[in-house]
Structure 1
Amino acid sequence: MGKKDFEANAKDGHGVAWPISYDDLAPWYDYVESYIGVSANKDGLDSVPDGIFQPPWEMSSAEKFIANNMAKKYRDRHLIIGRSANLTKPTEAQSSLGRTRCQARSYCARGCTFGAYFSSLSATLPSAKKTGNLTIVTDAIASSIDYDEATGKASGVTIVDVRSKATRSYRARVVFLCASALGSVQVLLNSTSKTFPNGIANSSGAVGHYIMDHFTGVVGMAEVLMV
């Protein structure tokens, strides 16, 4: 996201203005990019701000042809190389997790055995394992978030065992709910208590309404004929 994304609501008068700006998030973008590894070119465009990048992939001949011609005719239109979380020059920290350079085989969706494409399996779980404080629980489905009436905070999570169907709870100081748009809503609505009879964080009754799941992408395709 760029500066315009944070300023649009305030400028056009629709919706609620963001309580933070791009500058507030910029250091965290750098932190995340340094960790996951992002291959990209520094294009100097406000709409897609530059960050901490690894060497970009080279454009194909057709892409270069289109980019050069667009640059000649339009000052406000740019064809840039795609930015992706594929390692092209792994850092020492990334290599220590067993991650190596992307082999450009286009098999990311199958799971990258080189650990080049950022994922929980190639990066975050190995990082957590190195701390010595990681316990992985399998065959468990998050059912609800536990709420402590005394502290007014989430205190853990209750899960359902896939095999036995029994429930058990895990206590925690911090709970991250990362179950996708629909899954997260389901867990929130399941998390009822005296304070939140209609689901945790749902005093407004808005949880379960106005849901938008993630778009995987919008693609435009064309055929370039080189004569």
Structure 2
Amino acid sequence: MTSLGELREAKTQWRRELGELRRSSAETTRSAEAESLRAAVLSWAARRKPGVVAGYVPVRGEPGSLAMLDALRESGWRVLLPVVVGAEPLEWADYTGADSLRRAEYGLLEPVGARLGQAAIAAADAVLVPALGVDLRGVRLGRGAGHYDRSLPSAAPDAVLIGVVRDEEFVDSLPGEPHDVRLHAVMTPGRGVVQLAADADLGRRVT
């Protein structure tokens, strides 16, 4: 049986390797991937009745873009963005466009509107979750701050949790701990939105 210390050391190693891979990607590659993700999320959203999606503003090379959030809003979706408050679960506020953001701690961009509290994530029909890596079982590897670990348990039971990563960050297996909230789907530039399960097929897309 793998000990907790060994699991955490394995996570550290994965963070190091995937972080280095992400930092080495060219700006032109990141721009092309951002456009592919915008198209993928737009295609996903178009097949659903508009609702509420909890998103994020990418920082430090994270995949995604403001254009992705704008595409959701233009499709009729309400977009919530996270607000970091110390080590607490994330709070949330509405995203109403690029001019509704301000620079915050850790180099983040956060919405300036009224904070809706930690429980606002429960209103989301879908949550776009930033990650360094996602595996076939829905295990997510974050940066280690734990904000999403503390926040995702408050999502609605029927909310779709979608990890957003680059194609090479979608891997067969990552070290997972019992408290990890498993994701239901992953979105990558090359594959679009793909459903995840213990016996997931790499080609199976979320419809």
TM-score, normalised relative to structure 1: 0.21
- Structure with bigger strand share is 2
Q: Which has the higher contact order (CA 8 A, sep 6+)?
A: 2
- Structure with bigger helix share is 2
Q: Which has the larger radius of gyration?
A: 1
TM-score, normalised relative to structure 2: 0.22
